[in-house]
């Protein structure tokens, strides 16, 4: 079956970490550059994130994401470098344009923060099975209904995509143009929507009934077929991250 999850199976230390710890790391990557706005701190965080991605051996998988992010960051660097109010120190000229130091530094600050956050999320997404993440969260007290919604999306969307393909094939076999220029493809998309959306709605009703009769709304406490996964050093890692954030705060306030 096709999967829309980006999870990549590898046998590394990062994969063996508690999903909750990875969520803590995201918090860390978000907060630290805010607490300590120095560009050096951001660079350290970025390097840390990249090291984790390399250790998890998923760096290659991040390239498409990073190239997209870089495209956007490039526009930020150009615009800020050229036009940021308060630009004074000229770095160099090309043609009629002048690149300024202040704008460039500001843009780099933004860029590092973005890369930092993106890599923290990539660590979570690429090295954690969605079902493991949700199960950890449900055990920590997330409503099992929300958990169900999150996990089922990963299976039901690919199902919808394959039914969409079947419908496209059926329409193509009756002579509809589905390939060619953008306009033809847009036109081919419209008659798809009816069957796919109405079909999904009907399926949703049936699935809701099937869930009901399997005790989905049962009031009692739930049990789990799989034993709770034991992650080593979870507590140490999580407390370590919290301590790191606390230290950064203290640094900011005191120094």
Residue 131 vs 234, nearer CB to other proteins: 131
Stretch that binds other proteins, among 72-80, 98-106, 177-185, 216-224 (CB under 8 A): 216-224
CA 254 to the chain's CA centroid: 35
Considering the complex, what minimum distance in angstroms separates the CB of residue 140 from other proteins? 17
| Contact track, other proteins, 170-209, x by CB under 8 A | ---------------------------------x--xxxx
Residue 1 vs 71, nearer CB to other proteins: 1
Rule CB under 8 A: say whether 140 interacts with other proteins.
no
Site size for other proteins, by CB under 8 A? 32
CA 221 to the chain's CA centroid: 31
| Pair type for strands 90-94 and 97-100 | antiparallel
* CA quadruple 85, 34, 21, 144: dihedral sign: negative
Strand, coil or helix: 177: coil
Considering the complex, what minimum distance in angstroms separates the CB of residue 65 from other proteins? 25
Distance CA 212, CA 132 (A): 24
Strand, coil or helix: 119: helix
Would you report the helix, strand and coil content of the chain in percent, each value rounded to 5?
A: 70, 5, 25
Distance CA 130, CA 151 (A): 7
Single out the residue of 79, 184, 215, 246 in contact with other proteins (rule: CB under 8 A).
Answer: 215
Query: Which residues of this protein are in contact with other proteins, per CB under 8 A?
Result: 1, 131, 147-148, 151-152, 155-156, 159, 203, 206-227
């Amino acid at each position: 079956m096709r999967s829309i999850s980006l999870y990549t199976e590898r046998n590394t230390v990062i994969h063996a970490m508690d999903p909750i710890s990875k969520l803590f790391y995201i918090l860390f990557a978000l907060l630290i550059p805010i607490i300590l706005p120095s560009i050096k701190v951001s660079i350290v965080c970025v390097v840390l994130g990249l090291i984790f991605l390399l250790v998890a051996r998923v760096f290659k998988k991040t390239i498409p994401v990073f190239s997209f992010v870089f495209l956007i960051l490039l526009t930020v660097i150009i615009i800020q470098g050229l036009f940021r109010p308060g630009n004074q120190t000229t770095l160099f000229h090309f043609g009629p344009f002048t690149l300024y130091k202040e704008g460039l530094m500001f843009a780099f600050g933004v860029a590092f923060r973005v890369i930092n956050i993106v890599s923290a999320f990539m660590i979570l997404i690429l090295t954690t099975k969605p079902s493991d993440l949700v199960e950890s969260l449900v055990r920590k007290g997330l409503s099992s209904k929300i958990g169900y919604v999150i996990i089922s999306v990963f299976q039901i969307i690919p199902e919808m995509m394959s039914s969409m393909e079947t419908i496209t094939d059926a329409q193509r076999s009756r002579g509809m143009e589905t390939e060619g220029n953008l306009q033809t493809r847009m036109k081919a998309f419209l008659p798809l929507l009816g069957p796919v959306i109405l079909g999904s709605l009907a399926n949703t009703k049936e699935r809701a009934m099937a869930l009901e009769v399997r005790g989905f709304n049962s009031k009692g406490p739930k049990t789990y077929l799989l034993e709770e996964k034991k992650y080593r050093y979870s507590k140490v890692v999580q407390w370590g991250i919290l301590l790191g954030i606390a230290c950064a705060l203290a640094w900011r306030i005191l120094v």
